[in-house]
Amino acid sequence: MQILYILLLVIIDHITKYIAKIQLSYGKSVTLIDGFLELIYVENRGAAFGILKNKKFFLVGITTIAIIGMIYYLVRTANLNKWERMSLIFIISGAIGNLIDRIFRGYVVDFIHFYIKDIFDWPVFNIADILVVIGAIILAFSILFLKK
């Protein structure tokens, strides 16, 4: 069942990326909340925040190893609680979603831009990134606050 959840989340990620790619021409933006949130098409050729730009083979290799390790741990560890399972499902899904982009496009499609006028400007991200961050937060919470 866990693999089906991962597959579903990867599909959702790629549907949103496909919609962003066909609806937003490069550099064009759609404001959702003025001064706060917009959709804009960006091709990220690096990792988080654009670091390791144009290091495709390195990023693909590291991500593949991490995904294999997490899937192995998820499938083989029987005593994970529901929060740990959910966190790993989210992290794996996000990693696979962006890995597919890197392998087949050579870049990751990002399209969600969060900012606060001229005060704060977060780098553009996507659903896969959200999954990884939420998964990491849930995992940290589970490790720190839930007893085995």
Active-site option among 101, 118, 121, 129: 129
Active-site option among 13, 34, 110, 121: 110
Query: Which secondary structure element, helix H or strand E, spans residue 33, and what is its range?
Result: strand 29-33
CA atoms 22, 24, 30, 32: torsion sign: positive
Which pLDDT belongs to residue 148? 60
CB atoms within 10 A of CB 6: 24
106 is written with which tokens? Answer: 């050579």
Respond yes or no: is residue 110 known to be catalytic. yes
Share of the chain above pLDDT 90, in %: 79
pTM of the entire predicted model: 0.91
Query: Which secondary structure element, helix H or strand E, spans residue 47, and what is its range?
Result: none
Question: For the ranges 40-49, 81-90, 119-128, 131-140, which has the lowest average pLDDT?
Answer: 40-49
